A and B are shown apart, each in its own frame.
Chain A
Amino acid sequence: MASITHFNPSTPKRDLAVMGIFALVVLTAPIWATPIGANYPDLLQRFAIFGIFAIGYNLLFGLTGYLSFGHAAFLGVGSYAAVWIFKLLTMNAILAVAFGMLVAAVFAVAIGYVALRRAGIYFAILTLAFAQMSYRLAYSVLTPITNGETGLTLDGNDPRVIDALFGGGGEGIPNPSLFGLELTGYAAFYFCAVVLILAFWVSLKIFRSPFGLKLLAIKSNQTRMRFTGYNTRPYVLTVFVISGMYAGLAGSLMAVTDPLAGAERMVWTASGEVVLMTILGGAGTLVGPMLGAVLIKYAENIFSAVNDSQLADLFGFLPEPVTDLMVGVASLFVGEGWHLTLGLLFMAIVIFLPGGMMEGLYRIGGAIRRRRAGGRAADNSAVTQPSE
């Protein structure tokens, strides 16, 4: 059934199990990612960071149905804010992350206040316009803050007042740290992983709260919501700001794992990417957006790295003219052209699995259950769809 009711059969016990499994899978990522060749911190970090981004985006889009096309602006703002903390105050990641979220929240209040006067396509266009404005401003007027095209980077001469106070700040450029623990390699991944688990927990709480239920109701019928006594705009604005803070959090984590910030993080394709992740995984589901983020980042990693000579090896068993042809065609889909692959994948999902990967998993689960039950009780599965 296409209409998934997200609150349906969830119980506190079930949620606890979901939370436990999620945490376990995230923390053991270096182990299970080995067979698929993704077991290095740089890529795992990216899974976690974009997972946070998509989970936050899903709170807005999945619950209220408001499609923002400018969320990358909050991501970029979070990055800049974090790097400024590294430059001026301290290399401690906690402060950088907190400040990144705060600045993103302030931005989200301003943009949301204006954009939420409209719904539907007009809301999407307004958010897109704001994000593109931020992107352009970062290259022009705001150069003193963003350092323009070069991007904002750390410098040996940065003051780092707090670190200096505690006698730190030796020679060279230090790494971001967590109270003395340097956040590089797997330490950085585990920092992101813990933040991801926390972010997922908050998202789960919101899904299960009366607040979350009201957001779903706004998506379902805003007129009835108003005539039932709810002032809907502050609800949507609140979740818009929360969602912006998630993006700011993701952006500041990018700065933690690699202390630089550039305006290209705010460009509109970056905003589009998080929409793709959410829809690909399953908008409105709890873990779908996380799956979408991992799938896209993994596919990007694989497909964008393939080059022509590898393709030639792959098709080398064919006669030479055929090989050339195959390489010519296939090369459109890899390397720089991997977005073409992504586009095809996206189209396939939207057409055949409108509920995203989660719908695919439900169908598989439903088929297995039916087979086990020998065809009896098959109709029950439609009603008792799980919400993860």
Chain B
Amino acid sequence: MAQNFVLNVSDVNKSFGGLQALTNINLQIEEGKTHAVIGPNGAGKSTLLNTVIGRLAPDTGSVLFDGVNLTGKTAHQINQLGVARVFQTPEIFLDLTVLQNIEIAALAKRDGAFSFKPFRSMFSETKIQQEAVDMLDDMGLHHLRDHPAANLSRGDKRRLEIAMCLIQHPRLLLLDEPTAGMARHDTNRTIDLLQRIKARGMTKVIIEHDMHVVFSLADWISVLAQGAIIAEGTPEDIKGNPKVQEAYLGGTEV
């Protein structure tokens, strides 16, 4: 029955001391879909994400990616399995150029977790370079290719980070509040970008509390409140769900 579920979170519980952060979480993420997890602050969104990527071990339950249990795996192992992650604050290589940032990501896909070829030259990595340049073109970052990533605007840093994930052709892309701290203009550009890459059939999980972002992107929404999933459904279902309005939207119309 679970053939086309890329990610299968079942019966996950997690508590910190006396605080029950996650209660019996079950999530099935369908292949090729954009699945949003929303919820008010403190609902357990970040804790959930951290258990998925192996940063936190769940007390009970399992997290299966493509049939492989992710609990106990390290960050690089999970990435090499095909899970890429975008952080709340863009995590990029600030001291390197934009092009180098992308090249590093492309090399990880090709070379694996470790490779030592000290006499190979970056000058002869023309295939990697071409791939990276194409990606920059695609992302509208080409004019910045030789600039240190530190000089980029917040929105461009986010685009760069997404580009670094995309060049690895992950099966699952995790986005943690991809528009957090962005001006409206940058938020809209980022939504455009995410809508564009939606067409590529990559499975995405978005953690977000900006409704505008969620409703313009998600195929399916899970609502998290106080560590438990209180509702699931299409954006239309969620918009009309009174339980959600009460817990999350505070009763106002969207």
Contacts and interface: CB of A to CB of B under 8 A. Distances in A.
Interface of A: 3, 5, 7-9, 11-12, 202, 205-206, 208-214, 216-217, 219-221, 223-232, 234-235, 238, 242, 383
Contacts of A224: 91-93
A237 to B, nearest CB: 10
B76 A230 contact: yes
A231 B107 CA distance: 13
B147 A383 contact: yes
A229 B113 contact: yes
Interface stretch (B97-105, B227-235, B246-254): B97-105
A5 B122 contact: no
A210 B100 contact: no
Interface in B81-108: 84-85, 87, 91-97, 100, 103-105, 107-108
14 contacts: A8-B97, A8-B146, A11-B123, A12-B123, A210-B117, A213-B100, A213-B103, A219-B95, A221-B93, A221-B94, A227-B76, A228-B79, A230-B113, A242-B118
Contact of B121 (A8, A209, A223): A209
Contacts, number: 117
Nearest to A238: B116
B207 to A, nearest CB: 15
B185 interface: no
Contact of B122 (A208, A225, A228): A208
Contact of A209 (B75, B92, B97, B117): B117
Interface residues of B, number: 43
B210 interface: no
B95 A5 contact: yes
- Point out which of A202, A210, A224, A238 has the most chain B C-beta atoms below 10 A from its C-beta: A210
A221 B92 contact: yes
Contacts of A11: 123
Nearest to A211: B118
B121 to A, nearest CB: 5
B198 interface: no
B86 to A, nearest CB: 9
B16 interface: no
A217 to B, nearest CB: 5
B138 interface: no
A11 to B, nearest CB: 7
B108 A229 contact: yes
